[in-house]
């Protein structure tokens, strides 16, 4: 399981970031190790142990789990013809990668329409769908301004800022705690997501819920850009999405003895604060997420 182990390590170390990038990388790693399997036993090990290893590398990533689930359910376990098995793996991998790519392309097209000339937009953390949306709007000729948070403690906001500046977009960086101060200048907020629950709540990088609260207080629209593939089916049955707590050294590598540090990576933004979710179906209410998933990806709910 060479590809699986390498990819799981990169995901754990945040060398691969962003829910979409994580899901794509994990699905490719699983497919590669399945293609390398010489026997059904080796393939079964990759499907079972390998999937568990990839999933455990990032708890709050239903898009990763959904992608791996798709491959698992479309690959035979008892096979005698290796060529036929490899064809099934390649087909399943191509199909899920196609879902990933098509959903992002559609989301970017829809999201870009929300951007108008002269807008000032606030975003938090890094999302390839968000940057894709903003770059597409810029490429279509709209001129606007972006205010980007640093997104501590790992400063993922710098990734977004670099991509936007390189695209020629007017971008200003602020510390996370200044989001409320600058809200009076904002026309709308747009963020990505790591997971969406059956209730329409969104799990995203820590600090997102505070930005949503500040936007609500200022009556500023708060949008989430997310593929429906990030829906977490376990929340239908009453379970909560796991919130990963990361190494406290990310906050302070040499704290005074006796100091307790907590470092949750994500938080939950309630649907009440979300103006709309920009999905491959269009801009929809967070209340209608479950129905939209059923229309587009019914296999997620099986």
**Chosen domain end from 57, 85, 103:** 103
Structure token pair of residue 228: 């429906």
Domain edge (last residue) among 86, 103, 120: 103
Q: Which secondary structure element, helix H or strand E, spans residue 225, and what is its range?
A: strand 222-225
CATH of residue 70: 1.20.120.420
Same domain, yes or no, for 200 and 111? Answer: yes
Picking from 81, 103, 125, the residue at the C-terminal end of a domain is 103
Specify whether 288 is located in the same domain as 145: yes
Mean pLDDT by 10 residues, the chain (302 residues): 92 87 94 92 90 89 93 91 94 95 96 98 96 98 98 96 98 98 98 95 96 98 97 86 88 97 96 97 96 95 89
CB burial of residue 246 (10 Å; 0-12, 13-18, 19+) = middle
pLDDT confidence of residue 242: 76
Note whether 152 and 291 are same-domain residues: yes
| 89 plus 117 within the same structural domain | no
Q: What is the pLDDT of residues 33-60, one digit of tens each?
A: 999 999 999 999 889 999 999 999 987 7
pLDDT confidence of residue 78: 87
Q: Kindly state whether residues 178 and 159 are assigned to the same domain.
A: yes
How far apart are alpha carbons 123 and 179 in whole angstroms? 9
Same domain, 143 and 195: yes
| Residue 199 and residue 53 share a domain | no
Same domain, 117 and 93: no
194 is catalytic: yes
- 156, 205 Cβ separation under 8 angstroms: yes
Same domain as 264, residue 129: yes
Assess whether 217 and 267 both reside in one domain.
Answer: yes
Both 169 and 224 in a single domain? yes
Q: Do residue 31 and residue 134 come from a single domain?
A: no
Domain holding 202, by residue range, is: 107-301
Q: Which of 194, 232, 253, 272 is catalytic?
A: 194
Q: Is 125 a catalytic residue?
A: yes
Cβ 70 vs Cβ 92: under 8 Å: yes
List the CATH number of the domain containing 235. 3.40.50.10470
In angstroms, rounded to a whole number, what is the distance separating the alpha carbons of residues 112 and 146? Answer: 14
- Domains in the chain, number: 2
Q: How far, in whole angstroms, is CA 80 from its chain's centroid?
A: 37
């Amino acid at each position: 399981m060479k590809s699986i182990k390498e990819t799981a390590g990169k995901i754990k170390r945040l060398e691969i970031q962003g829910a979409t990038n994580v899901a794509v990388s994990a699905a490719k790693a699983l497919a590669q190790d399945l293609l390398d399997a010489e026997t059904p036993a080796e393939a079964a090990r990759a499907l079972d142990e390998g999937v568990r290893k990839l999933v455990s590398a990032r708890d709050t990533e239903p898009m990763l789990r959904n992608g791996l689930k798709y491959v698992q359910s479309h690959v035979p376990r008892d096979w005698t013809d290796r060529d036929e098995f490899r064809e099934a793996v390649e087909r399943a991998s191509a199909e899920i990668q196609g879902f990933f790519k098509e959903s992002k392309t559609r989301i970017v097209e829809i999201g870009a329409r929300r951007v108008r000339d002269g807008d000032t937009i606030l975003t938090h953390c890094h999302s390839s769908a968000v940057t894709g949306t903003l770059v597409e709007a810029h490429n279509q000729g709209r001129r606007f301004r972006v205010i980007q948070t640093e997104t501590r403690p790992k400063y993922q906001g710098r990734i977004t800022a670099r991509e936007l500046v390189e695209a020629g977009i007017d971008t200003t960086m602020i510390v996370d705690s200044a989001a409320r101060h600058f809200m009076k200048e904002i026309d709308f907020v747009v963020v990505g997501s790591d997971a969406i629950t059956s209730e329409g709540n969104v799990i995203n990088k820590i600090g997102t819920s505070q930005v949503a609260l500040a936007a609500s207080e200022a009556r500023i629209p708060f949008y989430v850009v997310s593929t429906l593939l990030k829906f977490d089916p376990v929340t239908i049955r009453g379970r909560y999405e796991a919130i990963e707590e990361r190494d406290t050294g990310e906050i302070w590598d040499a704290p005074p003895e006796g100091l307790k540090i907590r470092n949750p990576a994500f938080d939950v933004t309630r649907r009440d604060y979300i103006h709309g979710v920009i999905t491959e179906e269009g801009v929809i209410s967070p209340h209608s997420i479950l129905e939209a998933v059923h229309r587009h990806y019914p296999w997620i709910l099986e």
